[in-house]
Amino acid sequence: MRNKTSILDKVIQQIYDADTFDRAKSIFINTVNNSKINSDDKYKMLSNIQNIESKYPSEKARLDAIKIYAINSMFEKKGMSTRSKYRY
């Protein structure tokens, strides 16, 4: 079985280490824009970042949210999502 990779694999640590939302956002957006993923997925990811920016009032909340979103996105692509696809 082939290991799944994510476009965020190479930059996730940079996003996590970012000390401002704008820095984390810049890394994320540049990575998405320079990737070969389809345009619908790019749009969805970039739209989610804009939603984070408008939803959270404080810098810390936005920074925490983008870090969580980036990590969850990476894990989801790798098939290790924390969100259950099954209902019990």
Q: What is the 3-state secondary structure of 23-75?
A: HHHHHHHHHHHCCCCCHHHHHHHHHHHHHHHHHCCCHHHHHHHHHHHHHHHHH
pTM score: 0.83
**How confident is the model over 33-81, as pLDDT tens digits?**
999 988 998 999 999 999 999 999 999 999 999 999 999 988 888 777 6
Tokens of 29: 């957006």
Whether 82 has a pLDDT exceeding 90, the answer reads no
**How confident is the model over 19-41, as pLDDT tens digits?**
999 999 999 999 999 999 889 98
pLDDT given at position 7: 82
The alpha carbon of residue 78 and the mean position of all alpha carbons in its chain are separated, in whole angstroms, by 13
Rounded-to-integer distance, Cα 73 and Cα 80, Å: 10
- Residue at 16: amino acid letter: Y
